[in-house]
Amino acid sequence: MLPLAGFTVIDFSQFLSGPLTSLRLADLGARIIKIEKPGTGDICRQLYTSETVLNGTSTVFHAINRNKESIVLDIKSEADCRVIRDLISKADVVLHNFRPGVMERLGFDYAHVREINPSVIYGEISGYGKEGTWAAKPGQDLLLQSLTGMTWLSGDATNGPVPMGLSIVDMFAGANLCSAILACLYRRTVQKMGAHVHVSMLDSAVDIQFEAVTTYFRDGQLLPQRSEVSNAHAYLAAPYGVYRTADGFLALAMGSIPQLRQLLDCPELENFTDGEQAFEERDAIKKILMQHLITKSTAHWLGILEAADIWCADVLDWHRLTEHDGFKILDMVQQVTMGDGFTYETTRCPIRIDGEPLISSKGSPKLGEHTTKILEELYG
């Protein structure tokens, strides 16, 4: 039995953050009913990455919305609102990521939803919190990365601001909302009470940086300083970074400089020790390592360093990764099938329960694919 078997989620959310919450709940066993507006549905259906269209919809939508059902309802029509109220009355979770004020206007904010279903867990994601002058701003990933200082952490010192190349604020916000919903579902089993759960992308963006922000305040409010070469973390000492080798790249995490000097046979590192020097003079150390490591192959260096239990790794692209036995053994790829028989490959949920990966063969829904079925369930 899956942990959330028997739970129903009514999901008004679009794009990535909220739908990621419901994807996780789906894989944990809940039934997800996506409420989509007539015509376009979730805007993410048309948000193409590299213009790849798969069975009429963006690949991103297929990744985020597998294992869900879709009902088309017009939230502005009174008849459809009755259906929404009936769905909510039987739901365990309701979630949305509209801007603050929208659900209040539509009559499906927590106060109203609680009247329909007092024990419901109501989850919402905002961009910047529900109050203040930022509340109306678009909660978009790159804008949040840019606002919160996150773009000064990746890349080398001379690169200017470098965004993290995925929508990670969306993803953390969605994951955080999922955790909060699960915690309140647990509380409901103990105390029979509903909950109103809210997570903002802004808080989530700062939370990702909690180490760096805490350091900033403790350390006399100095801005993060990326290293000039091979930066991988603005706050970590040499050798932490990625280095070019004769035939590829090598990642080096934390490690003792004197030990590396010896293992790599790199006498130029002679004047450097661990601790403060490895941090204060990391550019010099990293430049020496850069010149040294490029002389031999990645496999050569890995052979020496792994034998000495130094934390290091080859740098793979997806071709080499997906061909590797270390990847294959995880069974991370699953094939899912849509209602019309179309199949596609995607990743599975990263959590294992009782030794089993959480797998579901259900692909993403066509817009309104389950409208008739769900209406029949409700009204016979």
Site for other proteins in 159-188 (CB under 8 A): 159-168, 171-172, 175-176, 178-180, 182-187
| Choices 33-41, 260-268, 271-279, 367-375; region in contact with other proteins by CB under 8 A | 271-279
- The dihedrals phi and psi of 111, each to the nearest 5 degrees, come to -55, -40
In the chain, the largest separation of any two C-alpha atoms, in whole Å, equals 81
CA distance linking residue 109 with residue 196, whole number of Å: 10
Bridge partners (DSSP) listed for residue 72: 36
Report the site for other proteins in 126-165 (rule: CB under 8 A).
Answer: 128-129, 131-134, 137-138, 140-143, 145-155, 159-165
CB 336 to other proteins: min, Å: 10
Interface pick for other proteins out of 72, 75, 102, 313 (rule CB under 8 A): 313
Residue with tokens 């790829």: 333
CB 203 within 8 A of CB 210: no
Relative orientation angle of helices 17-27 and 168-191, to the nearest 10 degrees: 50
73: which 2 tokens?
Answer: 């309802």
Active site residue 319: no
How many other C-beta atoms can be found within 10 angstroms of the C-beta atom of residue 7?
Answer: 19
Number of residues near other proteins (by CB under 8 A): 144
Residue closer to other proteins by CB (options 99, 375) is 99
CB 227 to other proteins: min, Å: 10
Interface pick for other proteins out of 287, 304, 314, 362 (rule CB under 8 A): 314
CA distance linking residue 166 with residue 274, whole number of Å: 34
Report angle CA 94, 96, 100 to the nearest 5 degrees: 125
Q: Which candidate in 233, 292, 319, 324 is catalytic?
A: 233
Report the site for other proteins in 327-366 (rule: CB under 8 A).
Answer: 327-330, 332-333, 344-347, 349-355
Residue closer to other proteins by CB (options 41, 241) is 241
125 closest CA partner among 73, 179, 81: 179
Residue closer to other proteins by CB (options 98, 172) is 172
Site string for other proteins, 65-104 (x = CB under 8 A): ----------------------------------------
Residue closer to other proteins by CB (options 217, 379) is 217
H or E segment and range at residue 144: helix 141-147
Interface pick for other proteins out of 321, 337, 373, 376 (rule CB under 8 A): 321
CA distance linking residue 298 with residue 302, whole number of Å: 6
Confirm or reject binding of residue 276 to other proteins (CB under 8 A).
yes
Report the site for other proteins in 238-257 (rule: CB under 8 A).
Answer: 240-242, 244, 249, 251, 253-254
285 closest CA partner among 224, 229, 234, 233: 229
How many other C-beta atoms can be found within 10 angstroms of the C-beta atom of residue 289?
Answer: 26
Q: The dihedral of CA 301, 306, 312, 316: what is its sign?
A: positive
Report the site for other proteins in 99-118 (rule: CB under 8 A).
Answer: none
Confirm or reject binding of residue 14 to other proteins (CB under 8 A).
no
Report the site for other proteins in 186-205 (rule: CB under 8 A).
Answer: 186-187, 189-191, 195-200, 202-204
